[in-house]
Structure 1
C-alpha cells in the first residue's frame, strides 16, 4: 500500500535537493515506502542533476568558463526554488523543464 502523506515524504524530498548526492540518497530512502510527494521531488532533482552535468561537461567544454558559470548559477537557482517548494510542502514544478522531468522519470 502506497503512502501519500506529504509530512512523511518531506525529509526525502528535502534531501533530494542536495546537489549531485541528494537524489540517489533520497531515491533509496523512498524505495520501499514510495511516497508520492518524495517521488515528485526526486524526479525534479534527477532532472536538475542531469542539467548540472550537461552544463559541466558540454557547456564548459564548448562555450567556456563564463557560459559554464552562468549555467551553474541558473541550475543552482533551480535547486533552491525546488528545495523551497519541498520545504513549503508544495509540489511546484521547477521552471522550464519541470514538467518534462516528471514525464521522463515517471518510473521513479
Structure 2
C-alpha cells in the first residue's frame, strides 16, 4: 500500500486546495474576483487563473446586459434573459471550481479564456 503522506504529495495537495479556494472566491461578487486576482498574483496557480478568467467574463457580461436594460421597449427583455443565462453560467462556474474541474462554462467559456488570456 502506498503511503501518501510524503512532503511532495502534501505540497501538491495544498497547492490544489489553495487554488480551489481562490477559484471559488473569484465567483463571489466583484470584490471576491479582485481579492482572488491579487492573491493569485502572489502565488500563481493555473487553476485559479483559469477560474478568474471565467468569473471576469461572467461579471463583465452581466454589466453589458445591465446596460441593455436602459434601451426602450425591448431592453428589459434582453437584460432579463441575459441575466438568467449568466446566472446559469455562474452556477456552472462555481460548481466546476468547487469540484476541482478546469472546465469552461457553457457557451461563452472558451471565448472568455481567449479574451482574457493575458491574465
TM score, norm. by length of structure 1 = 0.87
Q: Which residue of 2 aligns with 1:14?
A: 24
Tell me the SS of whatever aligns to 2:82: helix
Gaps in structure 2 of 5+ consecutive residues = 1-10
Once the two structures are superposed, the pairs formed by residues 1-108 of structure 1 within 5 Å of their partners are: 5-57=15-67, 59-62=68-71, 63-108=74-119
User: Across the two proteins, how many residue pairs are aligned to each other?
Assistant: 105
1:19–1:79 contact (8 Å) kept in structure 2: no
TM score, norm. by length of structure 2 = 0.80
Q: Between Structure 1 and Structure 2, whose CA radius of gyration is higher?
A: 2
Deviation at 1:104, TM superposition (A): 1.2
